[in-house]
């Protein structure tokens, strides 16, 4: 199996201008991934597919990830006067990191029997610049999975042959897998309301006891 460092070097040589970063994985799986810049992502992945030493000819799965805005604290050393003497002290510096969305692809070589090579592509932000290049023109297996990510996370895959919702209905206006998604209070569309769903739905109805002692929900005017 070719190492991530070797793949990065080969791809950057083959695709001038491409920016590839190796993202470490501290979990027991210890599977590092390759973060590829949006502008060159499709060209780089095409190289990974067609390169004789790699032949990553199969995309097994595609996953969406939502990263919220967050803060990071780092320690920096600054020079300052202490009792009239210049000393170097350590200060905490807080940095705000903007959020983004991410598509993660797991690529394998059926021909050479190796993998996965994990590829990441990130959007510029979570609000307006949520476009990524579709890899469906390279891997047909990505078609429905990119549609699912579009539906649930809101990433728009440029070049996808049929980008439309696949789980939610066409009139649905949000993306329920985003971390800041707030479910609606009115669950009248729920086919089998129960437990918490039914309790929240009752807030929109007047509860009237029926003749048999059961509760009847009447829509509020």
Can you list the domains of the chain with their CATH numbers?
4-67+100-179 (3.30.460.80), 183-221 (no CATH)
Strand partners, 132: 157
Report how far residue 114's alpha carbon sits from residue 140's, in angstroms, rounded to the nearest whole number: 20
Give the pLDDT confidence score for residue 201 in this predicted structure. 67
- DSSP assignment of the chain, as one string? ---HHHHHHHHHHHSTT--EEEEP--STT---EEEE-GGGHHHHHHHHHH-TTT---EEEEEEEEEE--EEEEEEEEEEEEETTEEEEEEEEEEEEE--EEEEEEEEEETTTTEEEEEEEEE-S-SSS--EEE--TTT-GGGHHHHHHHHHHH--EEET-TT---SSS-TT--S-TTSTT----S--TT-SS--HHHHHHHGGGEEEEE-TTS-EEEEE--
Task: Supply 162's token pair.
Answer: 């049929």
Report how far residue 192's alpha carbon sits from residue 136's, in angstroms, rounded to the nearest whole number: 36
Give the pLDDT confidence score for residue 192 in this predicted structure. 62
Peptide bond into 116 cis (omega under 30): yes
Per-residue pLDDT of the chain (221 residues; tens, 9 = 90+): 789 999 999 999 999 999 999 999 888 888 999 999 999 999 999 999 999 999 999 999 999 999 999 888 888 887 777 777 777 778 888 888 899 999 999 999 999 999 999 999 999 999 989 999 999 999 999 999 999 999 999 999 999 999 999 999 888 889 999 999 988 765 555 556 567 777 776 676 665 666 665 655 555 55
């Amino acid at each position: 199996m070719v190492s991530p460092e070797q793949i990065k070097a080969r791809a950057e040589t083959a695709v001038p201008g491409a920016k590839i970063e190796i993202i470490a994985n501290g979990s027991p799986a210890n599977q590092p991934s390759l973060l590829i810049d949006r502008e060159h992502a499709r060209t780089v992945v095409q190289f990974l597919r067609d390169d004789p030493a790699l032949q990553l000819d199969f995309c097994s799965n595609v996953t969406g990830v939502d990263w919220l805005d967050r803060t990071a604290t780092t320690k920096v050393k600054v020079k300052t006067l202490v009792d009239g003497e210049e000393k170097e002290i350590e200060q905490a510096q807080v940095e705000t990191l903007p959020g983004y969305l991410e598509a993660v692809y797991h690529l394998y070589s059926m021909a050479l029997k190796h993998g996965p090579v994990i590829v990441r592509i990130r959007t510029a932000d979570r609000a307006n610049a949520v476009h990524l290049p579709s890899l469906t023109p390279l891997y047909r297996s990505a078609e429905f999975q990119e549609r699912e990510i579009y539906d649930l996370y809101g990433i728009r895959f440029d070049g996808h042959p049929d980008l439309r919702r696949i789980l939610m209905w066409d009139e649905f206006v949000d993306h329920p897998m985003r971390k800041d998604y707030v479910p609606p209070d009115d669950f009248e569309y729920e086919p089998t309301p129960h437990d918490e769903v039914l309790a929240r739905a009752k807030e929109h109805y007047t509860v009237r006891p029926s003749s048999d002692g059961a509760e009847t929900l009447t829509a509020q005017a």
